[in-house]
Structure 1
């Protein structure tokens, strides 16, 4: 586990950021990787297997980044929908590439049972700069509510609202990284004019369920599937993970809708937010991607057992 205390260099301690501080933060941002090369090309390569639709775009001048989703070709009103979202936090790489790997390798065996709707990179600007926030210094994963100021969240909300069929399952694919503690939590405290309170990063995979409908057996199926690929995060000395009580091995719960989280974007019966730990010396990038795939498989196999 990593524990770090760090002063953030932008803003005045105790004073929330204004537009000047946000602009100062933006001037430090540099593009580190290319969304079109690394993500859009992989999406387009799946056009023979899935219908590809542009459901919006991110328009931070001068960048214009299209948002794509992939749908089952045999979409049917008689089948429930499985929603898979990745890259809500653009820097969480295996969320994006885990969703694409699932489509490439495993998805077809589920299409007879489910309509698949996959938005593999909800925050392409964040993907390119490897950051948690969007260009307004907003966290898209705290912005899933009506009239959202985050383009990333608003576009996905509109996409989900356009689906007439029942969304039964939602996998929101995330990572918890050392940079959360080293960079993003200090930045959040500075932005909001608060004191930064150091925490710790769990070494291993865990999931976040919805406290309003926790479906523990579904979460267990996800954890049991992932442990075949990577290790599960242990609870800390307070029986917590990132400050939340562990309700079963590798599982904590959040109030998804109340907190404006992507996991609350639909009224699904079965939902989980996955959290891979890519900075562990015990895993590779490929294992992180495969852990995301394992999470989806474990959850879908469980749901299928309940539909029989």
Structure 2
């Protein structure tokens, strides 16, 4: 098997492979930067919790209207925002910490979503919502994912400075500006939006993988923010490209293949990454002494 047959032919011959590749590219553009900020803000598990939180809304939309894009998107978005706002309200009105409140909300949401699909739907419906159908993306879904990516990049450009300041020194930001709270709310909305977009391709269980694994991988290679965002986006896209090829040639499910490729890149980076990897920490380079 030559290079063309291995890497190019699947996308040249089959339209569904080209659609999947375009969808993954759009997801990477939005999820890469968002995942980098989630990691820097120590909110990685928040992304995972929000991915599970959209399940009951998407499930209700699926049962009401079937595979209707608007119904599932609106349901998932409403459920995700409800969990994010509800967890924040409970944390501020009680002595419970926000992480514990969010964990409680997302566990209830996950159980509710699985219960709805199990009682009212079928096993096929459950698998579709949990693991997505990246090889079945149609034009409206591609437009939705591309729109979310565009909106994400534009919004990040607007709130970039307060987001960076809040990562570095939130106390200083609160003392010189009131942009901290609005930028945080806008960022949470971007997280939910990108998870809803990723849900259509990778399902609720795997959508967060394309957001967090590339960001964590990139952190072992660069330390500055802008290169980190760019590298995380590139790793997300390459993981999607390689995962689709593995799925095509081996016959494995596409969504898990994509996330496993990203996971493999993470493992390699943990071992060999120059910015804090195992080998770099064990055998640090010597610096010239004056």
Give yes or no for TM over 0.5: no
Scaled by the length of structure 2, what TM-score is found?
Answer: 0.27
Q: Which has the higher strand share?
A: 1
Scaled by the length of structure 1, what TM-score is found?
Answer: 0.26
Q: Which has the larger radius of gyration?
A: 2
Q: Which has the higher helix share?
A: 2
